[in-house]
Structure 1
Amino acid sequence: MKLSYEDKLEIYQLRQAGFSWSYISRKYGVCLSNLKYMVRLMNKHGIEVVKKGKNKYYPSKLKQEIINKVLIEG
């Protein structure tokens, strides 16, 4: 199950409030180790680290120009 940004924030808040890992894991249907990893990331880098950004699109022509530039010019 994919978690939304709001779910991730709620998980973080529940853990900070003292709820057990097993309770949170059952509530959201997420593996315990994944929850622990996500909360550790949020503690270390801030809450915004779990927010998904928009993927960048690079046209194939631009990619080819960059590759050629690196291979030819070094």
Structure 2
Amino acid sequence: MKLSYEDKVQIYYLRKSGATLKSLSKQFNFNQSGIEYLIRLIDRHGVGIVKRG
């Protein structure tokens, strides 16, 4: 399943507010390692990076 820009931003802010990787994985039907990668990517490059792809 491909995540939309809004989903990616929502995942990022939910994780930063304390949501667990497991709960986010179930909520968005996306694997935990992909969520971890997304969080690291946004931390390093900013939220704008997910808008491009």
Look up the match of 2:10.
10
4+ residue segments displaced more than 2 Å: none
Look up the match of 2:38.
38
Q: How many residues align?
A: 53
Q: Which structure: larger Rg?
A: 1
Unaligned runs of 5+ in 1: 54-74
Q: CA RMSD in A?
A: 1.0
Look up the match of 2:26.
26
Q: Which has the higher contact order (CA 8 A, sep 6+)?
A: 2
Unaligned runs of 5+ in 2: none
Partners in 1 of 2:25 and 2:14 — Cα distance?
A: 11
Partners in 2 of 1:29 and 1:15 — Cα distance?
A: 15
Identity of aligned residues (%): 43
Partners in 2 of 1:9 and 1:16 — Cα distance?
A: 11
Partners in 2 of 1:2 and 1:52 — Cα distance?
A: 14
Residue 49 (str. 1) matches residue 42 (str. 2): no
TM-score normalised by length of structure 1? 0.69
Q: Give the letter for the 2:38 counterpart.
A: M
Look up the match of 1:68.
none
